[in-house]
């Protein structure tokens, strides 16, 4: 379920930042890229994940190894993708898979280099994916969106993302109208 779908600017590339808590985040990002953003799917994936799931390279994924000299090449390649308005560059800024129950999302340093190397106007979209079973047998994915219009500075973006993340978690908790006293 997509909530507050962004108004996509087809005249510039899109940088999508999304929390990362399971392998299924990638396929969900691919789906929303095709259905909502309608752009070419490009996503940075940890090298160890690419080695485990080799078909990822055929759907627009490219690898990054945080412990290798190739890290800079991968980040520069990511920045170059933002020069093409047809592209959506997806990044999981945490740089790995973490629990969806964290109170905050941390940003790894790679985003800084990508933003500095990019010389083109881009659209930045935040996405937060949360799962709930509620009254269903299978979990339902809720993906919240926000167009980010602030400074393209990783520290400011991290603060803004976490404010948005907190709002999304509060909205998620309020689904199905629980008693007010449990929403603290």
pLDDT confidence tier of residue 182, bands split at 50, 70 and 90: confident
- Selection from 35, 37, 26 nearest residue 59 by Cα: 26
Q: Give residue-wise pLDDT tens across range 102-160.
A: 899 999 989 999 999 999 999 999 999 999 988 889 989 999 999 999 999 999 999 99
Q: Residue range 159-184: average pLDDT?
A: 90
pLDDT confidence tier of residue 178, bands split at 50, 70 and 90: confident
Rounded Cα–Cα distance for residues 52 and 15 (Å): 25
The pLDDT, as a whole number, for residue 85 is 97
CB 74 within 8 A of CB 64: yes
- The larger pLDDT score, comparing residue 101 to residue 41, is at 41
Rounded Cα–Cα distance for residues 33 and 40 (Å): 7
- The larger pLDDT score, comparing residue 28 to residue 120, is at 120
Q: What pTM value is reported for the model?
A: 0.92
Rounded Cα–Cα distance for residues 2 and 66 (Å): 31
The pLDDT, as a whole number, for residue 113 is 94
Compute the mean pLDDT over every residue in the chain, rounded to the nearest whole number: 91
Q: Give the N- to C-terminal CA distance of the chain in Å, as an integer.
A: 25
The pLDDT, as a whole number, for residue 101 is 86
Q: Where are the domains of the chain?
A: 2-182
Over 90: is that where the pLDDT of 69 sits?
no
The answer regarding whether domain 2-182 maps to CATH 3.40.1130.10 reads yes
Over 80: is that where the pLDDT of 23 sits?
no
pLDDT confidence tier of residue 25, bands split at 50, 70 and 90: confident
Instruction: Provide, rounded to the nearest whole percent, the portion of the chain with pLDDT above 70.
Output: 100
pLDDT confidence tier of residue 89, bands split at 50, 70 and 90: very high
């Amino acid at each position: 379920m997509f909530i507050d779908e962004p108004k996509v600017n087809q005249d510039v590339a899109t940088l999508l930042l999304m929390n990362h808590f399971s392998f299924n985040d990638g396929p969900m990002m691919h789906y929303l890229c095709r259905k909502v953003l309608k752009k070419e799917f490009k996503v940075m994936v940890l090298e160890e994940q690419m080695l485990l799931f080799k078909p990822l390279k055929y759907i627009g994924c490219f690898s990054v190894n945080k412990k290798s000299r190739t890290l800079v090449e991968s980040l520069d390649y990511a920045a170059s993708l933002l020069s093409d308005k047809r592209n959506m560059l997806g990044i999981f800024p945490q740089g790995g898979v973490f629990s969806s129950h964290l109170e905050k999302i941390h940003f790894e340093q790679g985003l800084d280099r990508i933003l500095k190397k990019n010389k083109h106007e881009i659209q930045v979209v935040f996405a937060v994916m949360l799962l709930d079973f509620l009254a269903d047998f299978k979990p339902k994915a809720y993906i919240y969106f926000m167009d980010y219009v602030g400074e393209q500075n990783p520290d400011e973006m991290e603060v803004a993302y976490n404010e948005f993340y907190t709002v999304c978690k509060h909205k998620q908790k309020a689904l199905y109208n629980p008693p007010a006293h449990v929403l603290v």
